[in-house]
Structure 1
Amino acid sequence: MPLAFDRRLVNLLELEHPIILAPMAGVVTPALAAAVSNAGGLGSMGLATSTVDAARQMINAYRAQSNRPFNVNLFCHKPAVANPAVESAWLARLRPEFERFGAEPPSQITEIYKTFLDNDEMLAMLLEEKPKVVSLHFGIPSADKIRALKAAGITLFATATNLREAQAVAAAGVDAVVAQGYEAGGHRGVFDPEAPDQQLGTMALTRLLVRHLDIPVIAAGGIMDGAGIAAVLRLGAAAAQLGTAFIACPESQADDGYRAALRSEAAQHTVLTSAISGRPARSLSNRFTALGATVSPKDIPAYPIAYDAGKALIAAAKAAGETGYGAHWAGQGAPLSRAMPAKELMQELVTELEAA
């Protein structure tokens, strides 16, 4: 490659190209992850919302299609604290939306999946399966978990949205930090969703972390083509992580409504909303994000309890033929999306990178 950049991560993971697939839970399939890895990048899968058995099945399905290194992602959010009054009021607020589709909201909502912070069963599975990389979002687990994963020969990534979070990542012994810019699609990786968000863009954040940290920095957010990858490598990044760029690939799990929205005017108007899941996440503009603009964050139940209601509303609307309530996570680069098989997209990205 003609560019001079931080090659530590590429060498460590034996990658041909400094391109990492974002581990989008509910979107990335083992087939998509394997296609990226087989094309010389690092395939990733989001396991945060999966049971241990389902997570193991995804790992096995990946290994049936690729023998290349891969990444699995877990969420390290604080366990949700139930608030029956807020949850009841939220369900009452959503009732008219359900009634549009002849449906009833749930009678109650609960924490629909566990945080990795206290999921020892998931840890045990990872120590058995030994994926090459485990990436962490929303924070970092205990020192004991980090030591156990590293002792098993697993490389660790963790997301940061500002310098303080990144310094905590490095101090914990994590091997590389994902610099998630404000442009990025999906859930913001902020450690504390109650604290002010510095809203740093990918370019500024990447350069800031490269200047202050000794571990490799992976740039994420708004990167859709080889020119974008080249730009972050020139800033000192060791790799670029792309998510929205791969949503339109036929191997992704995105449904027809999601794909149609990505091709529509909605791609020009991504919105950061907490209404769908209970934590800030960037989505294509739709009916759910419009609803979110009318409510205060304090009125939304904790994550992922709110997601229990959100998923129920999405399902009710979809059953009635309305896809405008989907969790259509996407970054600000959405208008640059290209629909093609992942292998072909990887070839395009590499060609563009070399040209840049």
Structure 2
Amino acid sequence: MSLLNTLGIKHPILLAPMAGVSTPELAAEVSNQGGFGSLGLGASSVNVAHKQILRTQELTDQPFQVNFFCHESSALNSEVSQKWIELFADKLKEFGADVPTTLNCIYPSFKDNDDFLNLVLETKPKAVSFHFGTPHAHQIQALKNAEIITLVSATNLAEAKAIEAAGIDIIIAQGIEAGGHRGIFNETFDAAITTSDLVQLIKKNCTLPVIAAGGIMNGHQAKQFLKLGADAVQLGTAFVQCKTSSANDAYRKALFDQPLTQITASISGRPARGIINHWHKEIDTPNRPAVPAYPYTYDLGKQLHAAASKNNDYGYGAFWAGANVSEIRELEATDLINQLILEMQF
């Protein structure tokens, strides 16, 4: 069975599940146009995630995926966190914000308990995808029993093989060009393989369907990945500018005005590619102190961005974007899907 038949879609185009940016409206528009919509729910509470899934199901009767984080939760290192807080204390005060005394774990992992699993089993979306690793064996089995398709991001061959061995259905080959968080299982190691090389490497050594993700902005690029063996492509940055995404005005403006990206772990505690701003220019210096574990670092990052934004300084935003963001086009989701399909034909 082809991947299109497996997912129940008309076109080999998936919307990347972007936590904090994706919306039910955007997911539904992509799915209604024959692609595979998505909800990035890794930063959501169970209650909010539930509402978003139900809202998407109201807007479309077509299949879509939901996405969660599968990071290994870790305890906060108080010494590391205090040094990190001290680094930003003066800046927080300058923006009129309180300096935190500690950092909080703002995002739970899908693996921490079965609350998100039970939500998926209750609402039954077509598929569920995971970032930063694979779920527990009993969680994967429960999803299989419910006939819910599973996908996991791989950034190197070892991760792809681990995904296959775990019984996951589909591999998302996330190249180094991809915007947002790197899906690396081990946050201290990133093979940094390009999307084209990764797709070929996984197709040669694994048997599962492979979705190419990273640096894809138009149908011509998508077609090239399909020629390399990818079964479908996944795009995120291209859709951030759509009116139905929840990106704020500063984020949208940066996509078109500042289209240069770099990877940093300073914003969240995990490496992620975004538009170059204060984090990359001022914080990522050679003598930068150690970064606290994910997602504790993100707690401070969000506090600093919120305080700075109130002072009309948007340089501390997490404006995630792929390496080819300069090729972004101002199109709504329906028109963008149609344009991609047209370009893939030539």
Equivalent residue, structure 1, for 2:213: 220
SS in 2 for 1:74: strand
Q: Given that residues 105 and 312 in structure 1 are in contact (C-alpha distance below 8 angstroms), is that contact kept between their aligned partners in structure 2?
A: no
SS in 1 for 2:345: helix
Counterpart residue identity of residue 277, structure 2: N
Unaligned runs of 5+ in 1: 1-6
| Map 1:59-98 → 2, pairs under 5 A | 59-98=53-92
Equivalent residue, structure 2, for 1:51: 45
Residues 295, 128 of structure 1: CA spacing in aligned structure 2 closer, same or farther, 3 A cutoff?
farther
Does 2:117 correspond to 1:117? no
Residue 296 of structure 1 and its aligned partner are, at CA, apart by 5.8
Tell me, in whole angstroms, the C-alpha distance in 1 between the residues paired with 2:305 and 2:144. 39
Counterpart residue identity of residue 326, structure 1: G
| Map 1:139-158 → 2, pairs under 5 A | 139-158=133-152
Residue 80 of structure 1 and its aligned partner are, at CA, apart by 2.3
2:94 to 90, 93, 100: 100
Counterpart residue identity of residue 299, structure 1: A
SS in 2 for 1:50: coil
Counterpart residue identity of residue 282, structure 2: L
Tell me, in whole angstroms, the C-alpha distance in 1 between the residues paired with 2:287 and 2:78. 17
Residue 295 of structure 1 and its aligned partner are, at CA, apart by 5.7
Tell me, in whole angstroms, the C-alpha distance in 1 between the residues paired with 2:31 and 2:192. 31
RMSD: 1.2
| Map 1:246-325 → 2, pairs under 5 A | 246-264=239-257, 266-267=258-259, 269-294=260-285, 299-325=290-316
Displacement over 4 Å in runs of 4+:
295-298
Residues 173, 298 of structure 1: CA spacing in aligned structure 2 closer, same or farther, 3 A cutoff?
farther
TM-score by length of 2: 0.98
Residue 298 of structure 1 and its aligned partner are, at CA, apart by 6.0
1:198-224 deviations in Å (ceiling 9; x for gaps): 110000000111111111000000000
Equivalent residue, structure 1, for 2:17: 23
2:234 to 232, 241, 246: 241
1:273-309 deviations in Å (ceiling 9; x for gaps): 0110000000100112223312667611100001000
TM-score by length of 1: 0.95
1:162-196 deviations in Å (ceiling 9; x for gaps): 0000000011110110000000000000000123x
Does 2:327 correspond to 1:336? yes
Equivalent residue, structure 1, for 2:121: 127
Q: What is the aligned residue count? A: 346
Tell me, in whole angstroms, the C-alpha distance in 2 between the residues paired with 1:131 and 1:223. 25
SS in 1 for 2:38: strand
What's the % identity of the aligned pairs?
46
Residue 107 of structure 1 and its aligned partner are, at CA, apart by 2.2
Tell me, in whole angstroms, the C-alpha distance in 2 between the residues paired with 1:185 and 1:119. 28
1:201 to 194, 208, 216: 194
Q: Given that residues 84 and 289 in structure 2 are in contact (C-alpha distance below 8 angstroms), is that contact kept between their aligned partners in structure 1?
A: no
Residues 228, 34 of structure 1: CA spacing in aligned structure 2 closer, same or farther, 3 A cutoff?
same
